[in-house]
């Protein structure tokens, strides 16, 4: 894609996809931009602007065909296929993520997991557990491009570098530290402590406490 799509637009595409899933489950076949905007909490003009980055969608005077638009957005987001995902770190958070069934619904399958201590560790059916020392070999052999990191912050950078070396192109990092890798690797940092601090900031200025 030669042009740069704003990150907020990409985030809204994910929101639109969830709303379209709900519409499809309700048996609704066609939706107007106004109704889609109401459900998503987004101005209809913004929806049209976001979709315009990727082509022409919908029919004037009719609206959007739900199933068709859902398929178009999934293709734009690369969700027309299932992505194999590796998880590194089986502490409390890693184990909880591994058992979260929502990933499969969105086109992701946690197929391999790694940890430095395998004693007493179990993984769901369909996922294989390996020692961390095998990580680069397994990732490279299986051609996995996405990984989730839930290790201690002191280990996150080293783990990320090994994943990148093995061919991973996208990392979702839950460790409370910023990872630095070449631009060819996309990194999304999820710091739950920071998010909670942002919440308390807004609560404080609203005089909640």
**Claim to verify: residue 170 and residue 104 sit in the same structural domain:** yes
By CB atoms closer than 10 A (0-12, 13-18, 19+), residue 27 is exposed
pLDDT digits (tens, 9 = 90+) for 29-78: 999 999 999 999 999 999 999 999 998 898 888 899 999 999 999 999 99
Query: What 3-state DSSP class applies to 204?
Result: helix
pLDDT digits (tens, 9 = 90+) for 108-122: 999 999 999 999 898
The tally of domains found in the chain comes to 2
- Given pLDDT bands bounded at 50, 70 and 90, which one contains residue 201? confident
By CB atoms closer than 10 A (0-12, 13-18, 19+), residue 115 is buried
Q: What is the pLDDT of residue 192?
A: 86
Helices 66-76 and 7-25: crossing angle in degrees, nearest 10, is 150
**Claim to verify: residue 117 and residue 165 sit in the same structural domain:** yes
Q: How far apart are CA 146 and CA 85, in angstroms?
A: 5
Q: Where are the beta strands (DSSP E) in the chain?
A: 30-31, 64-65, 83-88, 108-115, 128-131, 146-149, 170-173, 186-189
**Claim to verify: residue 87 and residue 187 sit in the same structural domain:** yes
CATH of the domain at 12: 1.10.10.10
Q: For the whole model, what pTM was predicted?
A: 0.84
175, 190 Cβ separation under 8 angstroms? no
Mean pLDDT computed over every residue of the chain: 92
Q: Dihedral, CA atoms, 49, 60, 68, 103, nearest 10 degrees?
A: 30
Domain that holds residue 66: 7-76
- Given pLDDT bands bounded at 50, 70 and 90, which one contains residue 150? very high
In a domain, 207, yes or no: no
Q: How many of the other CB atoms lie within 10 Å of CB of 193?
A: 8
**Claim to verify: residue 68 and residue 110 sit in the same structural domain:** no
Q: How far apart are CA 31 and CA 29, in angstroms?
A: 7
**Claim to verify: residue 35 and residue 132 sit in the same structural domain:** no
**Of 16, 43, 76, at which residue does a domain stop?**
76
CATH of the domain at 98: 3.40.50.720
């Amino acid at each position: 894609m030669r042009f740069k799509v704003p990150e907020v637009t990409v985030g809204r595409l994910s929101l639109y996809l969830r709303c379209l899933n709900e519409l499809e489950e309700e048996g609704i076949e066609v939706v107007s931009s106004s109704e889609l905007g109401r459900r998503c909490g987004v101005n209809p003009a913004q929806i049209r602007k976001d979709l315009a980055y990727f082509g022409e969608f919908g029919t004037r005077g009719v609206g959007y065909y739900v199933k068709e638009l859902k398929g178009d957005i999934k293709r734009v987001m690369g969700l027309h296929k299932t992505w194999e995902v590796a998880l590194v770190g089986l502490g409390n958070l890693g184990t909880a993520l591994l058992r979260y069934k929502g990933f499969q619904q969105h086109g992701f399958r946690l197929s391999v997991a790694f940890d430095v201590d395998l004693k007493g560790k179990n993984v769901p059916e369909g996922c294989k557990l390996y020692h961390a020392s095998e990580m680069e070999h397994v990732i490279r052999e299986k051609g996995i491009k996405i990984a989730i990191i839930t290790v201690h912050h002191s280990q996150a950078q080293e783990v990320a570098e090994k994943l990148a070396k093995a061919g991973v192109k996208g990392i979702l990092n839950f460790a409370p530290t910023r990872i630095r890798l070449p631009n060819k690797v996309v990194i999304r940092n999820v710091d739950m402590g920071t998010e909670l601090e942002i919440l308390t900031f807004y609560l404080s200025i609203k005089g909640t406490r």
